Structure 1
Amino acid sequence: MVEHQIDHRPGNKARSRALVAIVVFLAVLGGLLIAQPDNLYLWIKALHIIAVISWMAGLLYMPRLFIYHTDAPVGSDQSETFKVMEQRLLRVIMNPAMMLSWGLGLYLAWSVYGFQGGWLHAKILFVMLLTGVHIHFSRAVRAFAHDGTRREARYWRLMNEAPTVLMILIVIMAVVKPF
């Protein structure tokens, strides 16, 4: 059973499906940009929200994987399974979703708001901090992949809160626009 989880064939199929999904996403986006419908803003906003939800799902799940991975003995089948899960989550979901979130978000910030507004600057700052969390998680994936130094599970439980707090601040800035 464990061998199936770390087998590369299912990973290749998952990677291919994810690539097809990204290509379809980009094709829809490209079609919208070419067609320039009257409600283009709403389409871009919807695609941005979809990308953000995907990115947040990964950011909220990854520390849970780290917690369980920390408890798995180095070199065990369980540890090897977590390595594959972490790498797939990062490469197939989190990285593309982050890039799409940034690209669409910057497009909206420029085309709709002209990068004006204190709330927008605060939101971008919080998104930059969220990107820093993403980078931190990416480095942890590499460390786990090489059986490097592991932080305690308690650390990852605390780090699990960082994306949540930043998400709350980002949503408040985007919806309430307090300043």
Structure 2
Amino acid sequence: MSDVLGDWYFWIKTLHVVSVIAWMAGLFYLPRLFVYHVEQVKAGTETDDMFQTMERRLFRAIMQPAMIATWVFGLCLVFTPGIVDWSMAWPWAKAFSVLAMTGFHEWMGARRKDFANGRNLLTGRQYRIMNEVPTLLMLVIVASVIVKF
């Protein structure tokens, strides 16, 4: 298996990066949709239905598959011989940040369901603050991989 991963390394890495870009786009956009949804839309209106449709499709059709692909290709890279040196700090920082990003993703999915069930309790300001979480985690992930501290 490791020979296969080595032979396909650049394709796997390419697919990993593309998956990460798609996932991050959703992680940046969904909280913004929530801000506009909570601040501009009354529950039970056509606009509320439209926002819920946009949020559901973004989460299920883009974010969920992109997250899964990110994990699959990322794990392929982890198991490619010679790529990750677990004696260094950077892979641990990246792994922790990716787990945190996945937790944030699932938290966003739960908030989407709150909107769908008419139970959103957060404000636009709270969603704006939460919108910074993926940015901070992305900074740690990118620095970990490039600087390899």
The reply to whether TM is greater than 0.5 is yes
Distance between the aligned counterparts of 2:120 and 2:10, measured in 1? 45
Q: Does 1:85 align with 2:54?
A: yes
Partner residue of 1:119?
Answer: 90
The Cα of 1:117 is off from its aligned counterpart by 3.0
Two-structure CA RMSD over aligned residues (Å): 1.8
The Cα of 1:37 is off from its aligned counterpart by 9.1
The Cα of 1:42 is off from its aligned counterpart by 1.1
Percent identity among equivalent residues?
A: 40
Contact 2:5 2:77 (8 Å CA) reproduced: no
Contact 1:130 1:166 (8 Å CA) reproduced: yes
The Cα of 1:150 is off from its aligned counterpart by 2.8
Q: Deviations over 1:127-149 (max 9, x none)?
A: 00011110110000000011113
Partner residue of 2:26?
Answer: 58
Structure 1 unmatched ranges of 5 or more: 1-32
Partner residue of 1:7?
Answer: none
Determine helix, strand or coil for the equivalent of 2:42: coil
The 1:121/1:146 distance shift into structure 2, 3 A limit, reads same
Q: Deviations over 1:15-71 (max 9, x none)?
A: xxxxxxxxxxxxxxxxxx9xx597521111110000000000000000010001102
**Scaled by the length of structure 1, what TM-score is found?**
0.76
Contact 1:109 1:120 (8 Å CA) reproduced: no
Partner residue of 1:173?
Answer: 144
Task: Describe how 1:137-176 pairs up with structure 2 within 5 A.
Answer: 137-176=108-147
The 1:37/1:83 distance shift into structure 2, 3 A limit, reads closer
Q: Deviations over 1:75-109 (max 9, x none)?
A: 01111111000000000000000011011111111
Determine helix, strand or coil for the equivalent of 1:149: coil
Q: Does 1:40 align with 2:11?
A: no
The Cα of 1:114 is off from its aligned counterpart by 6.4
Distance between the aligned counterparts of 1:137 and 1:37, measured in 2? 33
2:36 to 68, 81, 99: 68
**Scaled by the length of structure 2, what TM-score is found?**
0.91
Q: Which has the higher contact order (CA 8 A, sep 6+)?
A: 2
Equivalent residues, number: 145
Structure 2 unmatched ranges of 5 or more: none
Determine helix, strand or coil for the equivalent of 2:79: helix
Distance between the aligned counterparts of 1:128 and 1:51, measured in 2? 16
1:101 to 70, 73, 94: 70
Partner residue of 2:106?
Answer: 135
The 1:96/1:37 distance shift into structure 2, 3 A limit, reads closer
